[in-house]
Chain A
Amino acid sequence: MRLGAALRSELSKLFRQRGTYAGFVVVLALVGLLTWGSHYHQDRFKVANELGPDFVVAGKSITALFIARAAMDVAMVILMPVLVAIVVGGLVAGERQSGTLRTLLTRPVRRSTVLLSKLVAGCIYAVAVTLFLGLSSLALGYLVFGWGDLVLFRGGLAILGPQAGLLRLAEGYGLAAAAMCAVGVLALMLSVLFDNPLTAAGLTIAVLLVSGMIEFMPYFEQIRPYLFTTNLPMYRACLKASVDTASISISALYLLGYVSAMVLVALWVFSRRDVTC
């Protein structure tokens, strides 16, 4: 009923904290380093190196689109999940630790409304920081290298013109943002279950790491396709020469299943849990 008001208050809290912007600063620093590295070590980043000796590549391959693609490749593996886990992991546990959850929940508002508003706010942060990664890498890449084609060499070779390349990256970043929302939901669930925001954030990363390790263990081969971390990098399908929409759809469905289950657990626990501190 008061979801709008609760969401406005969550966003107001989230974006009035300096800590929220630390993630954006880190992302900007990473993009800066990536752009600087690409500029001063262009030889190492030549597409020809990736394609092997059978190909002769002429023209400019390092462009704004290349930087945006590389930024996605580099940041989505660890950095972005860590940033999302830290911020979203504190949304409930942080308020519980500081006592403000107590103040909040004496108000005539459903606990489910409070939690859903935090969930949406967390997802807005995840989307914002992911889009910031894409936009800042495009902007810095454009300033240093200018516009140009997007060369994709995984699963074949594709050279996309600036417009098609931008569209492909937009799809990729959209999927990456969705994946980071799924990480945010995991962090929020752990934030409901644990009192300490650092525990919630740390466990989020631990779950991702363990799930990622299981992926590479031969004994778990049969469950590999269903793992959270197997389906999380669905955005990578957009960085291949041709987009495998079927694999994206399957991954999206699995993630939706995980997200639904985690939201239900979080809602169930949050609605019943005693506020003792």
Chain B
Amino acid sequence: MTARLLIVGGGMAGTIVANGLARRLSHELRSGDVNVTVLGTSNDHMYQPGFLYVPFGRVRSQELKRQERSILDRRINFVIDPATHIDVDANRVVAQSGKSYGYDYLVIATGSRLVPEQIPGLTEGAYHCYDLEGARKLRGAIDAFEGGRIVINVNAPHKCPVAPLEITLMLDEHLRDRGLEGKFDITYTYPIGRLHSLEPVAEWAVPEFDRRGIKYQTFFNTKEVDVAKKVVHSEEGDSFEYDLLITIPPHRGAQVIEDSGLGAGGWIPTNPRTLLREGSDNVFVIGDTTNIPISKAGSTAHFQADTVVENLTMMVQEGRWSREYDGKVFCFIETGLSRGTYIWFNYKTPPRPTPPTQMVHWFKLAYNRMYWLSACGLL
């Protein structure tokens, strides 16, 4: 009997799982003992960390997009048919076409979505770089900027937790390079009582911000944006006037997760080590979709995908478990346009940022190209 492996989501996590399974289960795929299907929403596969470079003209949009079908191993069934209901009791997924997809093992990798509309005025008043269209618009706004007050406004929850710091430092350097030093000021707002969730990163950021004259306001959870007056207000009672407002919009999980009753906010209760959905023994959840209290980042999705590939392979081939996810996360941090650093941590090891270097920046730029090898399951 053929084992049916269904992956919902064709982003980084779903794609790495699919290609990893194709490599490890090649014999079973050839014999027909296994089939692997990816149920996606689009044939566009975006390299999302690359959006950060778009506002500064450092990357071409075409470099960030490939066709999902061209990345997936040819032995993977790829269907563009957005899932509309995931029924974990009946082991099936219903999609937009009305078709029902049964499975023996399910991997849910539906990701997260931007919901700026949750905050009045944010959609109309702010720019962002968390999708390609937003990043292009932000580039236009930065190109047109000739001086004034910039507010970089971070909201919770959001993916890629170091991106707010990166865009702040890169923007500061970019504007100085354009000869605007002394003609602009940047204020960075953050929801909790320090500049970043990670305490060592926050401690590193304070002198860096002070050295550059970047102002900051902690405990700032955005209440609303008065677009006409160009003022952003917080739940805590603080307000800032701006000429250019750049936001990190709040996120939610995919609509299908909420519609299927699988988790509040679109985040699925997930065991942090097995990555199994709480209450299921054949449903894995990875990437942004989990409710695990860990960074929603590409590297998280990647390391989780590797774990799921190992476990699914072992379960299919030997009927036993392989290994658990150790909570590993790795993030590059661009500290400007020519230097960078990185952090890594897991459930037991705290992060320790190292001094920024040009070498790490170059490695980050190299990884931006090498990403496609990761998606193909080769790196």
| A complexed with B | no
Residues of A at the B interface (CB closer than 8 Å) are: none
Residues of B at the A interface (CB closer than 8 Å) are: none
